[in-house]
Structure 1
């Protein structure tokens, strides 16, 4: 009962802080002319305020202050330095673009604070692929790589209105349920705080007159929190999994299913860029959400909703399968789904030059059709007016 009251108060407080602060951020950004200018690969056509992630940062700092003491290993004090590093780096990248290498170094510094806390140490994979105990240095390598992958994967899906918010909300709902069931209330309260921030931000992100982007400031912070939650989930003690509706050995596959949207999209985009002899971090319009918009003609809201629903359904499917199936069967299932999705999205020609030409041609055809319809309407209207004049 005490947890429920705290959770409700924390959700309301975090929601109000984010909701009331974002209009102030929009006003400052507009006055100082710090808006995001659209370019050849942007999904928006007008200058839009960014820096929405500023509200996430200080809301999380306040939340960590109020829920401190519920963490057994003083995790809050280790999370705050990492959050601050990524906040500063994200803010600088939103204002003056910094190189991917500099961002990676900053991310590595931020996640070091998490890896050294004993609460997040993964000591065993509990039989996943027949692997049990793992050395500490292997944990540091796996944990560091996993956190870097999650942070950058989430950062990369922030490309259209509402997508990063919806995917983040789905992930937070799942982790809230998991940590509540296993009694890790500190982490459950963090997920509730982040969810409140994302829900409050979502309304502005899809708005037509008060739109704002979370920017790298926001996506790096949310990606960092997601990576922390994933690491903690995999570091849970074996007895904790007795409260969860899936087998202990399937935990790594459940984690992958929770993050399937950012992980699949990042792997796919990196593969395409390398195949086109470009750097993995070079910008383009090869993301899944760009395909849904450019090729399938969906709006930002429709594409975000479809991807969010897919993420949720995929997790539910794997939790159901994970309650009975051994991890070898789960791995086969996961590989099959990835191969199927790869076939669907790889059948298009994703060379950036060809893609740009196809988009321009599609727009020209639409403009020609629109002009023809307008001329036909004018012709009909003119004929009607002539007949009326003749009658007079």
Structure 2
């Protein structure tokens, strides 16, 4: 079987597994009350099933395993073990609301499986700041540090419909194309299997009513550890220099919003005297919603912002690495901080417009032909459509 055909079939199979499993998981979640209940800091108005991560995990691992069996794929085995551990911890947290410190310990354990047992650690900076190879112990420490950070950053952006899966699709596509250009078919298959799993989930999450489901902590954690591993593999690969002259800068651009938004929120919480892990409504998606945008438009804006930063990073690849890094960092700070200042101005100037704008946007969305068609697709023709 040709590599290209394997990639396509892996994506199709992964999508098929998700499509077939979500209605069954929705039924199980409702029967056993495994749902995300509304509260003061959540945006959903009704309980929503939260086993979407199980479906996505099955799609990714089953489709990938089937099409990489003919390759030497030992490292993927350890990655899947770590993802399974994150799935378990995420499901437990979705059901019982696990303590943050206990979750952190399990996250570190999962990352150590990949870094120490799977031997996937940061080995070089590819010349950024004049640094090429880095010492073994330092590489392990740095990999564990940023991997746990990425895990939690991806987890924290899962706040509006379609955001985690929409962002995940873009990242999977970028990684998939990158690994394909670098000639790494194993991880290309993995990336496109992830894309295939996330696409139908995105549709159920955004357009579903009867079959609506959240990806939950289980889903965001498996995506987080998967993407953290792909970051390490991409930076270490010498062929990545054929895509961009600064692989680390490119990765910063791809993960700009979750990384810089998480840092911004934590700094604000600390300055206010609160725990950096205390929940609130200060994330970028909350701010965009504050302008009166719908969940769908909020997701679209954040995904477009990420895509713009990635394009900029590719356009400046001929610059010296330190200038590339500096510009991308400045742009990332602007993208995640300026909307907060604009919202304060907007609320003062147009205090009565926000709710009217949000209601009008939601009404237009639900009455659109696309919305009605997609809801029929994910919920079935017998489901009545809201007017």
Aligned pair in 2 of structure 1 residues 279, 200: CA closer, same or farther (>3 Å)?
A: same
Q: Residue 306 of structure 2 corresponds to which residue in structure 1?
A: 311
Distance 2:354 2:255 in 1: 38
Q: Residue 245 of structure 1 corresponds to which residue in structure 2?
A: 243
Q: Where does 1:47-58 land on structure 2 (aligned, <5 Å)?
A: 47-58=47-58
Distance 1:363 1:212 in 2: 31
Q: Secondary structure at the match of 2:113?
A: helix
Q: Does 1:90 align with 2:86?
A: no
Q: Does 1:273 align with 2:269?
A: yes
Distance 1:169 1:115 in 2: 25
Distance 1:196 1:340 in 2: 32
Q: Residue 215 of structure 1 corresponds to which residue in structure 2?
A: 216
Distance 1:331 1:217 in 2: 32
Distance 1:260 1:305 in 2: 15
RMSD of the alignment, in Å? 2.5
Shift of 1:118: 6.3
Contact 2:91 2:217 in 1 (8 A): yes
Distance 1:104 1:195 in 2: 27
Distance 1:362 1:97 in 2: 37
Q: Where does 1:58-77 land on structure 2 (aligned, <5 Å)?
A: 58-69=58-69, 72=72, 74-77=74-77
Which blocks of at least 5 consecutive residues in structure 2 are unaligned? Answer: 361-387
Q: Does 1:301 align with 2:296?
A: yes
Q: Secondary structure at the match of 1:132?
A: coil
Q: Where does 1:353-368 land on structure 2 (aligned, <5 Å)?
A: none
Q: Residue 12 of structure 1 corresponds to which residue in structure 2?
A: 12
Distance 2:207 2:194 in 1: 20
Q: Does 1:338 align with 2:336?
A: no
1:44-97, Cα deviation, whole Å (9 max, x unpaired) = 111111111111222233234323445546112211221121111001001000
1:255-280, Cα deviation, whole Å (9 max, x unpaired) = 11111121121111111111111111
1:136-177, Cα deviation, whole Å (9 max, x unpaired) = 000001100111011110000000001111111111110001
Distance 1:40 1:93 in 2: 19
Contact 2:264 2:337 in 1 (8 A): no
Q: Residue 374 of structure 1 corresponds to which residue in structure 2?
A: none
Distance 2:343 2:12 in 1: 46
Contact 2:309 2:328 in 1 (8 A): no
Q: Residue 262 of structure 1 corresponds to which residue in structure 2?
A: 258
Shift of 1:41: 1.1
1:21-61, Cα deviation, whole Å (9 max, x unpaired) = 00111111112222211111111111111111111222233
Q: Where does 1:74-153 land on structure 2 (aligned, <5 Å)?
A: 74-116=74-116, 120-153=120-153
Aligned pair in 2 of structure 1 residues 343, 33: CA closer, same or farther (>3 Å)?
A: closer
Distance 1:33 1:343 in 2: 38
Shift of 1:126: 2.4
Shift of 1:188: 0.7
Shift of 1:122: 2.9
Contact 2:256 2:332 in 1 (8 A): no
Give the greater-gyration-radius structure (CA).
1
TM-score by length of 2: 0.86
Shift of 1:117: 5.0
Structure 1's consecutive aligned runs of 4 or more residues displaced over 3 angstroms after TM superposition are 67-73, 361-366
TM-score by length of 1: 0.85
1-10 vs 182-191, greater mean Cα deviation? 1-10
Shift of 1:254: 0.6
